[in-house]
Amino acid sequence: MIDFKSTLKMAIVSLKINKMRSMLTSLGIIIGVSAVIIMLAVGSGASRKIAKDMESMGSNLLMIRSASATSGGVRMGFGTKPSLTLKDAEAIEKNCRGVLAVAPYSSGTSQLTYGNQNWSTSVGGTTASYLFIRNYEVLSGRNFIPEDIKNNTKVAIIGNTVATELFGDMDPINKTMRIGNVPFKIVGLLKTKGQSGMGMDQDDLVFIPITTAQKKVFGTSFPGTVNMINVKAQNSDVINTTQEDISELLKTRHHIGKTQDDDFEIRNLAEMQETIKSSAKTMSILLGAIASVSLLVGGIGIMNIMLVSVTERTKEIGIRMAIGAKASDIRIQFLIESFLLSVAGGVIGVLIGVLGAKIVDLTGAMSVAVSGGSIALSLGFSGAIGVLFGYYPAYKASLLNPIDALRYE
């Protein structure tokens, strides 16, 4: 029966005797594990950042844009032809399955002024539901109320960037600013959202009632039209049904025949979000796979060094076998040595990898997230490599003939 305790003790003594060789043997594993930890942390961080950006845009979201206008044979792009109306938004909310909330939206760029301060930003005309649909939260003040939409009230909700540029440290609530030449009372301040994944400042904006925007700010030759309608579905299971219902409804309302082109476009952001998340996950796996090559190289290094060790310790092996050690004892000892080298390298590699990931995170170069799963995977993989690549040298050592081994010089 194999005496594991004695065999383990002998393996540790052997590694201590050759400290420099043991350290250099583990170096490949150290580099490989630290590379895997950092790469997976970068991939995981990127995935979380994308998920956060997607969440800030809103979930289960359908964006309906008006058609493209054509001028002199030049197509101007979606949103340039006024084909969507407030009545369309109301009809979608009442008649389409799976709809949780609907918000019409029209926007433009305007100059804002307060006292001697001014700021140019995006002004969006919409309803109270828009903040819910796009995951905006009111930090102070209030959201729009039905009377604001009904009476074309000149009230505004502003983002943190606008508040800072116009009011500095002052509380903007109940202050009056001008959008163009029209005075607006600020009734709400939005909670900070930061930059989007595309680098856009999500706090540099102003919301006003959609009816006020149409009649007093932007103006339109087509009363009641909007650039876009945002729809939030009840959940991801019904969003495709909701999209189909909206398409059929708008075709009917706009009198579009089967052979005619639609005068609207529906974008399913849920599909787009899933595609982006899937791409990020694939990239994370790819980064981990590339880094894992270093572990394989480290395993080959262990095998080579252990083969050299077998040759150098041939006489030692012969003496052990001559005094009663079995082939299995020799094999287990070399496997333990290989395993210990790998695990020790793995532990050091994990420490270096976690430290490296933290440094990358602190520099702000990119978002990283070290997971317990990546650490466990790296340690398990390093231990498995120690056993896998240490088996052949251990097997070769166990096959030595005791008499030939004792004669070896």
In this structure, the answer to whether residues 373 and 305 fall within a common structural domain is yes
In this structure, the answer to whether residues 123 and 215 fall within a common structural domain is yes
Q: Is 139 helix (H, G, I), strand (E, B) or coil?
A: strand
Gap between the Cα atoms of 234 and 34, Å rounded: 44
Rounded average pLDDT per 10-residue block, the chain, 409 residues: 64 72 78 82 75 67 76 46 86 93 92 93 94 92 94 95 93 94 95 76 93 85 81 89 93 87 84 69 74 76 75 71 75 80 85 86 74 79 80 75 59
In this structure, the answer to whether residues 288 and 402 fall within a common structural domain is yes
Gap between the Cα atoms of 65 and 42, Å rounded: 36
For residues 331 and 61, the answer to whether their CB atoms sit within 8 Å is: no
In this structure, the answer to whether residues 282 and 143 fall within a common structural domain is no
Residue 309 token pair: 């060790």
Distance of CA 297 to the CA centre of its chain: 30
Gap between the Cα atoms of 345 and 337, Å rounded: 12
Instruction: Give the model's pLDDT for residue 321.
Output: 74
Which DSSP string corresponds to 378-405? Answer: HHHHHHHHHHHHHHHHHHHHHT--HHHH
Nearest to 64 by CA among 243, 213, 257: 243
For residues 139 and 157, the answer to whether their CB atoms sit within 8 Å is: no
Final residue in a domain of this structure, among 262, 287, 306: 262
Q: Determine, yes or no, domain membership for 232.
A: yes
Nearest to 304 by CA among 19, 27, 13, 1: 27
Tell which phi-psi region holds residue 324, choosing left (phi > 0), alpha (psi between -120 and 50) or beta: left
In this structure, the answer to whether residues 231 and 316 fall within a common structural domain is no
Distance of CA 351 to the CA centre of its chain: 24
Nearest to 219 by CA among 188, 179, 264, 166: 179
The sign of the dihedral angle between the CA atoms of 67, 68, 69, 73 is negative
Final residue in a domain of this structure, among 262, 297, 329: 262
In this structure, the answer to whether residues 250 and 388 fall within a common structural domain is no
- Single-letter amino acid, residue 305: I
Instruction: Give the model's pLDDT for residue 261.
Output: 83
Q: Determine, yes or no, domain membership for 68.
A: no
In this structure, the answer to whether residues 247 and 282 fall within a common structural domain is no
Which DSSP string corresponds to 342-365? Answer: HHHHHHHHHHHHHHHHHHHHHHTS
| Integer Rg of the chain from CA | 34
For residues 190 and 139, the answer to whether their CB atoms sit within 8 Å is: yes
The 8 Å CB, 24+ separation contacts for 194-201 are: 194/56, 196/53, 196/56, 196/57, 197/49, 197/50, 197/53, 197/54, 201/161
In this structure, the answer to whether residues 351 and 257 fall within a common structural domain is no
Q: Determine, yes or no, domain membership for 76.
A: no
Residue 263 makes CB contacts below 8 A (sequence gap 6+) with 66, 67, 81, 83, 254, 256
Query: Number of folded domains in the chain?
Result: 2
For residues 83 and 67, the answer to whether their CB atoms sit within 8 Å is: yes
Q: Determine, yes or no, domain membership for 255.
A: yes
Instruction: Give the model's pLDDT for residue 132.
Output: 92
Residue 324 makes CB contacts below 8 A (sequence gap 6+) with none
In this structure, the answer to whether residues 41 and 117 fall within a common structural domain is no
In this structure, the answer to whether residues 245 and 312 fall within a common structural domain is no
Domain with 402, as residue range(s), is 4-53+275-407
In this structure, the answer to whether residues 389 and 305 fall within a common structural domain is yes
Instruction: Give the model's pLDDT for residue 363.
Output: 77
Distance of CA 102 to the CA centre of its chain: 27
Gap between the Cα atoms of 262 and 250, Å rounded: 9
Final residue in a domain of this structure, among 262, 296, 323: 262
